[in-house]
Amino acid sequence: MAATFTVFSDEVIPGWAEGFARLLREGSQATVGVASSLEAALDSRTDVLVLALGRRFDARPSDHQIARLSNRRIIAMSTTADWLRRQVGALETVTGMSSGNDHRMTSTSSELLGSQAPNLPFHAFKKRYETPLAEFNDLTPMLHFGPTRLTEFRPDIDYIVTLSKLKECAVVMRQASVVYAGVHAHPDEFSIEYRQLIRRVAFALATRPVEPLAPIVVNRQMHPPGTVRFELSRWEGSNDDNMRTFHFRFEQPTAFTATLEHTGSDAMMLLFNGDGGTGRLHWTRVDSEAGETLTIAANINQQALESLGHRYWELQVVNFDRDKGGTAKLSVRYDTPSSDTRLTPLAGDDGVETLNWRAHALLLAARDGDENASARIRRHAPAAKIEQAAVRRVVAREHGFGDWPTLSAHVAWELPNTLPSALAFGTRLSFERGLARYPDSFSAPQLAELFDGFPEPVASMLGAAFTQAKERGHQHFTTEHLLEALIDDPISNHVLQSVGCDIEALHPELDALLEALPTTTFVGETQVSEPFCSATYRADFIPALGREDMNPGSLLAGLMGEDCHAQKLLAKQGIRQQDFVNYVSHGIPTSLAGPAAPGASVLDPQLEAVVQRAFASAKASHHEFLTTEHLTAALLSEGDVADAVRSMGADVDDFARDVADHVDTTPRSDEPGRTKPTRAFNEIMQVALALAQRAGRGQASPGDAFDAILRERDLPTCHLLAGATEGGTPSRPKSRG
């Protein structure tokens, strides 16, 4: 009986399904159908299902379809295997690495195709491709090869084609009745050798009995708790010498911590996760740019252990420094409920506020003569004087961190992608990709297409600014043109005023820079400059409070990451990139602006004034963080908030003193003026805005902010208010020690 096939592609490569159907029909009696939808393909009853899907996360089959996926013959093209694995879990043949170069491949002796002799190298494509990274897109012919190593997974995985030089990397392989084929291109671009091979694979699979997918258990060396030292080479692409991977298995709920100390490298990464097949568990990544110690903590519960199943937890140390190698010292600790001196797991919502509150409670208990509190301090800080710094160190060590700064950095709100060095490679690549994709003209419409479209009002603002630049005879659109456009936009104008910019003083200096730009008569459109493209790329990574997608305020923050004349003009006025991030992402003004144009601010003038007072107070006290308690202290001067406190039965003045006393326990910074908002502060501002929008208002008020704080029961404000309403004595949090 002739083999039957169903082919489906979601048109990442137009015409792919029809092209592969023609390949299967060549010289055969096979019945080949092209499905009109993924649902129709999954419901088909043919011998083999061929799927070519992009990196999609939207398609969730029915339970019935998922059950059938584990018990049918499938050819999964490149990234399709990643989608398939999220459905069935047991699949190990997935995309690992990718290359735009047409590497030579070698067919191996396999159970599916039998002996392959002679094993002559061949290429995947009709013509040779050496695609620069900047030119990659969905249509780029690519090779995807699986991360699985032959020595680990044989005989459970049947390796059919490997790279000739990297024989551990498989391009075509089979697990049970699922074949992974990692050649990404239109079938008409396949080489003769690869067309013949993939046809043989398809027909051999069609006649093979169906094997249900089952987990593959691989025995790996597990890393014990303790310390290990090792060297890592500089990053040269996919070389194994610049990374180390450690594996772990836990039989019961575990508090896991890993601390990496290192020297030499300026770009070290620590990554922890568990591959649960259908999803990643406890995925946590931290990066170092200047030799900082990196720490990861994970509270692994029973549900996570069951989800991981037969697989392993992995900890990766990678050196991304292109110039220098590194020396690393990795310390790993994991504690269970039965450990003698077990770690205290961090709760998912633990932040600077809750941890500092816990430390202060420990200090008060020790001073009151609590023997358990004193014993905890002696255990972790035996020689230290009993004071706030010492008890913070105790709390840090009880959670598996070496000191308080490392713990507070772990739970703090961070935006590392705004740092110039963190995005240097991406900014350069985005510009190179634009030039490669649009060699004839890389102007405003092409830039918008490169970034998947600009939202309003960014699109209109940039369109008008490019037109004005052309009228001036400027062949390239610079960050100076961008700053001029942002001054005129109501949203970014309000942002500039809120970070203390003297716009009147800025205008003549900016005008002088624009007048100094060379002018010429040219045909076509004004072109994108690299600094402007880079600023736009950075802006795409900066979240804006209450706004979706990129907005003019984000562009200001992105511009400040560039080394350009426009950035220097703003820096000359004492404005930092962090000032823009503070206002755009958190709603924290450095100074109060005048009345905002409609839609220019998501906070009403009263709340902006409250937040500005809170921030000014934290900075004046040299506090490292702007916390929710700084915000509470400032909110209590608002009449409606004070009335709300009275309605709960608390004395406002007494409550305000309790809050002020606790604010004084906030850690102080060694760098005055570098006060940073906490993660809890950011969450409160987001909730406040959501409450306002739910009530049909476009701006959050002080009452919304206080309501948002009261919804977070573990914040110090809530503990203090509970104590004030229960008899005037501030409550203390329950100790987790």
Kind of pairing between the strands at 254-263 and 326-335: antiparallel
Domain end marker among 321, 343, 365: 343
Whether 436 and 516 share a structural domain = yes
Whether 244 and 323 share a structural domain = yes
Q: Look at residue 731 in the predicted model and tell me its pLDDT.
A: 47
Task: Check whether the bond before 457 is cis (ω within 30° of 0).
Answer: yes
Q: Look at residue 705 in the predicted model and tell me its pLDDT.
A: 97
What value does the mean pLDDT of the chain take?
86
Whether 508 and 362 share a structural domain = no
Distance from C-alpha of 75 to C-alpha of 278, rounded to nearest angstrom: 19
Domain end marker among 387, 411, 435: 411
Residue 315 included in any domain: yes
Task: Check whether the bond before 225 is cis (ω within 30° of 0).
Answer: no
We report the CATH number of the domain holding residue 231 as 2.60.120.380
Whether 49 and 191 share a structural domain = yes
Q: Look at residue 730 in the predicted model and tell me its pLDDT.
A: 44
We report the CATH number of the domain holding residue 43 as 3.40.50.880
Domain end marker among 360, 383, 411: 411
Whether 529 and 637 share a structural domain = no
The reported pTM is 0.71
Q: Look at residue 334 in the predicted model and tell me its pLDDT.
A: 81
Q: Look at residue 108 in the predicted model and tell me its pLDDT.
A: 87
We report the CATH number of the domain holding residue 650 as 1.10.1780.10
Helix, strand, coil shares, percent, the chain, to 5 = 40, 20, 40
Distance from C-alpha of 265 to C-alpha of 262, rounded to nearest angstrom: 7
Task: Check whether the bond before 155 is cis (ω within 30° of 0).
Answer: yes
Q: Write out the two tokens for 225.
A: 């708790």
In the structure, what pLDDT confidence band is assigned to residue 168 with cuts at 50, 70 and 90?
confident
Residue 229 included in any domain: yes
Whether 436 and 548 share a structural domain = yes
Residue 74 included in any domain: yes
Instruction: Please count the structural domains in the chain.
Output: 5
Q: Domain range spanning residue 687?
A: 605-725
Whether 197 and 267 share a structural domain = no
Whether 248 and 192 share a structural domain = no
Whether 195 and 175 share a structural domain = yes
Residue 334 included in any domain: yes
In the structure, what pLDDT confidence band is assigned to residue 225 with cuts at 50, 70 and 90?
confident
Residue 600 included in any domain: no
> pLDDT higher for 584 or 168?
584
φ, ψ at 374 (rounded to 5°): -65, -40
146-150, 229-233, 605-609, 611-615: segment of lowest average pLDDT:
146-150
Q: pLDDT tens-digit profile of 459-486?
A: 999 999 999 999 999 999 999 999 999 9
In angstroms, the Cα distances linking 646 to 279, 643, 656, 721 are 48, 5, 12, 11
Q: Is 231 helix (H, G, I), strand (E, B) or coil?
A: strand
Q: Look at residue 472 in the predicted model and tell me its pLDDT.
A: 96
Q: What are the b/e assignments for 638-676, b being 16+ CB within 10 Å?
A: beebbebbeeeebebeebbebbeebbebbbebeeeeebb
Distance from C-alpha of 714 to C-alpha of 356, rounded to nearest angstrom: 12
Q: Look at residue 700 in the predicted model and tell me its pLDDT.
A: 96
Residue 734 included in any domain: no
Whether 197 and 62 share a structural domain = yes
CB under 8 Å to 245, separation ≥6 — which residues? 314, 315, 316, 317
Q: What are the b/e assignments for 324-349, b being 16+ CB within 10 Å?
A: ebbebebbbbbbeeeeeebbbbbeee
38-47, 55-64, 165-174, 562-571: segment of lowest average pLDDT:
55-64
Residue 592 included in any domain: no
Q: Is the pLDDT of residue 729 over 50?
A: no
Dihedral in degrees, nearest 10, Cα atoms 204, 207, 208, 212: 110
> How many residues are there in the chain?
737
Whether 249 and 327 share a structural domain = yes
Q: Look at residue 732 in the predicted model and tell me its pLDDT.
A: 47
Q: pLDDT tens-digit profile of 640-666?
A: 999 999 999 999 999 999 999 999 999
Q: Look at residue 339 in the predicted model and tell me its pLDDT.
A: 60
Residue 190 included in any domain: yes
Q: What are the b/e assignments for 470-498, b being 16+ CB within 10 Å?
A: beeebbebbbbbbbbbbbebebbbbbbbb
Average pLDDT in the 304-308 region?
86
Q: pLDDT tens-digit profile of 349-373?
A: 789 999 999 999 999 999 999 999 9
Whether 332 and 358 share a structural domain = no
Q: What are the b/e assignments for 398-412, b being 16+ CB within 10 Å?
A: bbbbbebbbbbbbbb
Q: pLDDT tens-digit profile of 696-723?
A: 999 999 999 999 999 998 999 999 999 8
The closest of 82, 129, 737 to 380, measured between CA atoms, is 737
Average pLDDT in the 207-217 region?
87
Residue 190: other Cβ atoms inside 10 A: 23
Average pLDDT in the 389-393 region?
92
Residue 590: other Cβ atoms inside 10 A: 22
